[in-house]
Amino acid sequence: MKNHSIFHSDGHSDKIDRLIVLPFMKSVEIAIKSIRVRFFRSLITTISLVLAVSFLSFTRVGSDVANGLLSTGEPALRQTLIRSGYDLRPEDVSVGNSPKQQWIIVLSLLVCVVGIVNAQLMAVTERFREIGTMKCLGALDSFILRLFLLEAGIQGLIGSGAGAIIGGAFALINFFLRFGTVSFTTLSWTQAGLSVAGATLVGCVLSLVGVMYPAMVAARMQPVEAMRVEQ
Amino acid sequence: MTDSRKIVRVTHVTKSFKLGKLDVLALKGVDLEITAGNYISIMGPSGSGKSTLFNMIGGLDKPTTGKVFIDEVDIAQLDAYELAWLRCRKIGYIFQTFNIIQVMTALENVTLPMTFAGMADDAAAEKGIKLLEMVGLGDRFQHKPFELSGGQQQRVAIARALANDPAIILADEPTGNLDLNTGEEIIYLLKQLSRERGVTIISATHDIKMLNVSDQVVWIRDGRIDKIENRDELSISIGMIGSKPGHDTLSEC
């Protein structure tokens, strides 16, 4: 055993903050592993996100297609749009997001965040012991926080990416069945792409917002408390 | 290195918990000195304050009054970074419930503290394999915890505790969840480590098999130290305990 005391005589060392590290790539590795091992738990956390984001993407891409159709100026297409549920007044030249639609979207996203918080709190509770162990091995609060945020970020990216693509695809299929190929030829694809990307981004942000509180609970926990939990 | 160095010093420590509106005094003034390199057993019935004292020594909990010094540093003065440092490098923990991180392999469990300590991956893996070989799991380092028996998991935990060459190993009922034989193996492994590596081992236990290997036994009763017995004085109490029914014979070693 080496006989060096790490502590200076005055009781603290300025080297300390550099001495405990968790390289970023290592934390990514741990986060991915953790998601893989707890696949079903991650799936449940992600699924509400997938649904909410696909709904968002569905409405946004739907509006894009409808706008494309409207821009042709054909009254027949306009009539079919109105019949399929778009509130179009005679003077409208584009499908705006009606307040009703916006409310539904906001509500679905809110419900989704609550769902994520709930699922993540459960996940944290299940992992009390693991968190406590890591802290006993010298993990700092910030490591735990980072691991949870990374996991949520990855889940958010995959979940909302999948959701956005599914929602967008459904919107396209829906319009294709109603209007045929004209809905594709008139559609601004960049606009649709932006809608899908936007929905993905919103999903990622929601996932991170949802995990914030549970991750903070996990990070602040004292190791003894964590160990005391019976599992 | 002086062999009589006091690695842990506990002075006038009390600890109270709030239990609803009631203040429960778990420790009622404990003084204790632990010499580096010794194998210490803290014995006592459950509820005696044994675990509380143990957590205090491990820097997992802070005393209500009094001071705990580890290597002459008052742990109450340490901030979060320094405490993490202490837990990472100075102290190795072994638990009754093994607490192997379930999502990682045996080797990853052992290398995690080394990663925290800033060791490169290759060096950590090499050292991890060496440590696992030392505890007798050389061929099982890629196994996940659920593929290992209780005794094997505890061996992984011991290897993990040794990852950063700590000065102290704290073992909280290390044999509590193991059968008699496996428990004995673990105890002898710990003893061997303390002898070969000069690690101070402090274990809270009510496993009487531990007495056999301990250099010093601290008996806790009702939040106070009942008595501290050194190895040479132990025979008297061993005789007493040995007379209890159902207890295996304690041979002198």
* pLDDT, one tens digit for every residue, chain A (231 residues): 334 444 444 444 444 445 778 888 889 988 998 888 888 888 888 898 999 999 999 999 998 998 888 888 888 888 888 888 787 777 777 777 678 888 988 999 999 999 899 988 988 888 888 898 998 898 999 999 999 999 999 999 999 999 999 999 999 999 999 888 888 888 888 999 999 999 999 999 999 999 999 999 989 888 877 666 655
Range(s) of the domain holding residue A159: 37-228
Quick one: B54 exposed, middle or buried, by C-beta within 10 A (0-12, 13-18, 19+)?
Answer: buried
Residue B240 clears pLDDT 80, i.e. is over it: no
B249 domain residue, yes or no: no
B84 domain residue, yes or no: yes
Range(s) of the domain holding residue B138: 39-48+80-241
Contacts B93 to A, Cβ<8 Å: 136-137
Instruction: Tell me if B172 sits within 8 A of B204, measured CB to CB.
Output: yes
**Predicted pLDDT at B57:** 86
Residues B107-165: tens digit of each pLDDT: 999 999 999 998 888 999 999 999 999 898 888 888 888 899 999 999 999 999 999 99
Q: Rg of chain A over CA atoms, in angstroms? A: 24
Residue B3 clears pLDDT 80, i.e. is over it: no
B180 domain residue, yes or no: yes
Please name the helix (run of DSSP H) or strand (run of DSSP E) that holds residue B200, with its range, or none: strand B200-205
**Cβ contact A137–B160 (<8 Å):** yes
Instruction: Give A117→chain B minimum CA distance, Å.
Output: 22
Q: Rg of chain B over CA atoms, in angstroms? A: 18
For residue B209, the 8-state DSSP code is G
A21-38 burial string, b = 16+ CB within 10 Å, else e?
Answer: ebeeebbbebbeebbeeb
**Cβ contact A2–B165 (<8 Å):** yes
List of residues 6+ apart from B129 with CB closer than 8 A? B107, B138, B141
Instruction: Give B240→chain A minimum CA distance, Å.
Output: 33
Cα gap B74→B5, rounded to integer Å = 16
A21 domain residue, yes or no: no
**Signed CA dihedral, B196, B197, B200, B205: sign only:** negative
- Write phi, then psi, for B200 (nearest 5 degrees): -80, 125
| Residue of chain A with shortest Cα separation from B74 | A11
Interstrand relation of B65-70 and B73-74 (parallel, antiparallel or unpaired): antiparallel
Picking from A19, A227, A12, A50, the residue whose alpha carbon sits closest to that of residue A140 is: A19
B179 domain residue, yes or no: yes
* Domains identified in chain B, total number: 1
Contacts A129 to B, Cβ<8 Å: 97, 99
**Predicted pLDDT at B172:** 86
Contacts A12 to B, Cβ<8 Å: 77-79, 82
Cα gap B18→B25, rounded to integer Å = 9
| Residue of chain A with shortest Cα separation from B71 | A5
Residue B252 clears pLDDT 60, i.e. is over it: no
Global pTM reads 0.82
Cα gap B171→B41, rounded to integer Å = 9
A8 domain residue, yes or no: no
Please name the member of B61, B80, B199 whose beta carbon is closest to the beta carbon of A224. B61
**Cβ contact A138–B113 (<8 Å):** yes
A157 domain residue, yes or no: yes
**Cβ contact B80–A140 (<8 Å):** yes
Tokens linked to B168: 């102290």
Tokens linked to B107: 């080797």
Q: Does A127 touch chain B (CB under 8 A)?
A: no
Picking from B168, B96, B108, the residue whose alpha carbon sits closest to that of residue B132 is: B108
- ipTM value greater than 0.85: no
B86 domain residue, yes or no: yes
CATH for B209: 3.40.50.300
A64 domain residue, yes or no: yes
* Domains identified in chain A, total number: 1
Interstrand relation of B216-221 and B39-43 (parallel, antiparallel or unpaired): parallel
**Predicted pLDDT at B1:** 45
Tokens linked to A100: 């009703």
Cα gap B202→B40, rounded to integer Å = 5
